[in-house]
Structure 1
Amino acid sequence: MASSRDRAVLVLELLAHHVQGLPMSEVGDRLGIPRSAAHRLLADLKEMGYVKQNAHTAHYLLTIKLAALGLSHLAATGVTDAAQPLLDDLAERSGELVRLAVIENDELIWVAKAQGARTGLRYDPDAGMDVYLPATANGLAWLAALSEERALELVSRQGMERARTMGPGAPQTLREVLDRVAETRQRGFGMVVEAYEAGTSAVAAVVRAAPTAPAIATVSIAGPSVRMTPARMESLAPDLLTCARALAAASSHSPLFAASN
């Protein structure tokens, strides 16, 4: 049985994925805890300043306090100072959305981004915190840097259920995922076409301190599929890989990258 501390963390993680908030009853039902316990947890978190209640809907949602803590932590680790100029440059070159995800505790976590699209269609999703490995270019890039056994372990941990609600290009079986991982490993970078979301495509590469070192992060370029065709993603790959190498060189200055490595 989860402790009160564990339940409080689960509440925060749940609300982080629902920016409009959730009613108390749904928080309890989604987490499988009694509604009375959910009410006490939300009251405690509200008193601590991490949760607030919408006056009109009575839904509970996160305050800016948690986001501020996260931003302060990223600033202290040097990620924004080291990575942001490189992401900005790649976004300007590509004219698309560029994002960085760091590997931590067997997960890929989004930590920074730069938007290169100035006019026309823009892709800038609310992707949550963690990266879904089977249906994202970032996920495939990281899985391709691992052994097949390790990749299968990470995919099995996330499960395939989420893939069934994603884009038409999302893999539906473990065999499909492993085939795409093998293709990514041979190509040298990950590519997805309308996998995470219909109408969008992306290309991604791993960041590692040395060619044989473990991956510590991934960097990607994503945009509308009408622009991000397979041919264009191939043409963007050299700039993407150059950025990945530059991020690797900058990683030694950030304790967050060091911890991942």
Structure 2
Amino acid sequence: MAGEVQQGIGRAAAVLTALGDAKSGALRASDIARAIGLGASTTARLLASLEELGYVRRERDTQLYAIGTAILSLGSQALNHNPVHRESRAAAEALAQRTGLSVNVGVLDGTSLVYLCHFEGALAPKSHTMVGMRQPLHASGLGKCLLFDLDEAGRRALLGDELERYTVHTLVDHAALTAALAESAERGYCTENQELALGRLSIAAPVRDADGRVVAGISVSGRLSVVRELDHEQLAEQLIETADRISVGLGMISAVPTAAR
């Protein structure tokens, strides 16, 4: 019985994943069946159950299925229960308004980072939200912040010996990543200059808990042509001040020695 329940949950999750990955945002039942490798009748039963529960919806007058509002409700509840999200949301939004750039807050999840907050300033409009999306740790400013508490051996254990390349600027050598993180820890923030996507630049600062451990990162980012025109020193100061404010909200009450950054 337990195996059947686990199998059913896995199949339902596969349906939701297929819908989430759909570029159009909706799929026919036959497309979902092919994507998850199940028969048409099994997929139809899964969709009917998920639709009844509100996890998927069938678009009116079509045979297309999309993610339902019950998923949105669960996602909202998960964010509201997350202390990092609660403490950082207002501060991140205010920073986006002051700088005009995109501001993201991310946390470690497995071997990648996942975004908890995303706000756009006037200089960095987007047509989609980054909340819930994942990015690699070694190739993003936020991700580098989340690696601060690990030594090189720990990073190798987490990320593996081979680091994936995304652009010609990506750090794919652990020794180079270690040197970059040491420099970043000394100044209090990380940079990402076209390492994940060409034409993009960001800076990120770590967010710490009551024990001084890095539990999140916050970044400001935008198009290279836009960020180049801004005062980077002033931008970094605003970013670090915001990260410290969030850290205090999470219980940090003392300064963190440079060596521990």
TM-score by length of 2: 0.75
Q: How does 1:97-112 map to 2 (within 5 A)?
A: 97-104=102-109, 107-112=112-117
Instruction: Give the match's secondary structure for 2:227.
Output: coil
- Give the corresponding residue for 1:258: none
1:123–1:222 Cα contact (<8 Å) kept: no
Q: How does 1:57-206 map to 2 (within 5 A)?
A: 58-77=63-82, 81-104=86-109, 107-117=112-122, 122-123=125-126, 125-127=128-130, 129-133=132-136, 134-156=138-160, 160=164, 164=166, 168-169=167-168, 171=170, 174-175=172-173, 179-188=176-185, 189-206=189-206
CA-to-aligned-CA distance 1:58-89 (integer Å, 9 cap, x gap): 33210122112221332344555532221123
Aligned pairs, number? 243
Q: Percent of counterpart pairs with the same letter?
A: 22
- Give the corresponding residue for 2:256: none
2:117–2:131 Cα contact (<8 Å) kept: no
1:143–1:181 Cα contact (<8 Å) kept: no
- Give the corresponding residue for 1:45: 50
TM-score by length of 1: 0.75
* CA distance, structure 2, for counterparts of residue 57 and residue 44 of structure 1: 18
Instruction: Give the match's secondary structure for 1:226.
Output: helix
Instruction: Check if 1:218 corresponds to 2:221.
Output: no
> CA 1:64/1:197 → structure 2, altered by over 3 Å: closer, same or farther?
farther
The residue identity in structure 1 corresponding to 2:57 is K
* CA distance, structure 2, for counterparts of residue 244 and residue 33 of structure 1: 46
Shift of 1:93: 2.6
In structure 2, stretches of 5+ residues that fail to align are 253-261
Give the structure with higher Rg (CA): 2
In structure 1, stretches of 5+ residues that fail to align are 254-261
